[in-house]
Structures are given as C-alpha cells and as structure tokens.
Structure 1
C-alpha cells in the first residue's frame, strides 16, 4: 500500500514560507504599488508593516470578519443582496 500525505487541517489556507496566502496578498499589493511608484523598498517596508497589522487583526477576530467588513463597504458580495443595515425584508 502506498503512503499518502494527509494535511493536519483540511480547511487551512495555503502557506508561503510562514505566511498565509491572504497575508502575502497584502504584502504583494504593496510591492506592486512600489514598483509602479518606483519606490519598491519603501513600499515593501510598508507592506511588511501592513501585513503584520493585518495578521494581528486577523488572529484576534472571528473567521470571515474581513469578508464582512469588505461587504459592509461594498468591496465584496453580490449586487442583488440587501444592504448590511437592512433588518427586515418587505415585499
């Protein structure tokens, strides 16, 4: 019988070195802005700071917290869903 790899957590995010994918996206966004602005090292440093702040906030909140924040400000979600502040639906 051949051995197979079984991950420790089935729903764990992809990791690059010791960072999770969403933290790395924050860093890469800042590096991308730095490339466009021709200040790569400055924006890479700001990206590391932003990544640390994001990871600390992400570890303190419930899973899916940032998706709710993005939905509230209109960056996430479907357009046919009601606004976040609607409590009752009336036909």
Structure 2
C-alpha cells in the first residue's frame, strides 16, 4: 500500500489541488451566500478571495500570516512564553 508523505511536516493536507486553509474563503463565501440567498455570488466572491489569499501566501515568508494575525490583535503568538527573551528555566 502506497502512503502519501508530505514534503514538510507542518503542511496543510491537500484537498484536490488546494491546501485545506485555501478552501476556507470559498467555504465561507458559499455559507454566506446560502444564508443571504445569493449562493452563486457568494461562491464567486469566495473564489476571488481564495485567489488573493493564495497569491499572498505564495509570495510571503512562511509564518507571516500568523504574525499578521498577532499584529492585528486577534490571537496570541505564544501562550507559553509571554516574554520572548526569557528561557524556560527563568519562568
């Protein structure tokens, strides 16, 4: 039996030709389109947003999206070490 091994350990799983995180804008657009009864427009908006996300993700440094989310204040970067200059023994 042949098993698919990803090139990087932290890569998202593939769904057809997209990575799983690249499908989120499409699914959100489809969900919003269903709620507001404009499914086709929501799906097209999701495809456009997904294309923009994919283009940004491919041209940016790895991990930059996580840092941008932290910079906007919507998530913590590290919950274990509040001060990045401290070692584990100093806490």
Tell whether the structures are fold-level matches, with TM greater than 0.5: yes
Partner of 1:62, secondary structure, is coil
Q: Which residue of structure 1 lines up, in the alignment, with residue 14 of structure 2? A: 15
1:4 Cα deviation (Å)? 5.4
Q: Which residue of structure 2 lines up, in the alignment, with residue 5 of structure 1? A: 3
Partner of 2:67, secondary structure, is helix
Which ranges of structure 2 fall in alignment gaps of 5 or more residues? 84-91
User: Is 1:26 paired with 2:25?
Assistant: yes
Count of residue pairs brought into register by the alignment: 81
1:63 Cα deviation (Å)? 1.0
Distance in 1 separating the partners of 2:30 and 2:66: 23
List aligned pairs for 1:69-84, cutoff 5 A.
69-77=68-76, 81=82
Q: Which residue of structure 1 lines up, in the alignment, with residue 67 of structure 2? A: 68
Q: TM-score, normalised by structure 1?
A: 0.75
Which ranges of structure 1 fall in alignment gaps of 5 or more residues? 83-91
Q: TM-score, normalised by structure 2?
A: 0.75
Partner of 2:42, secondary structure, is helix
Distance in 2 separating the partners of 1:19 and 1:6: 16
User: Is 1:44 paired with 2:56?
Assistant: no
Partner of 1:9, secondary structure, is coil
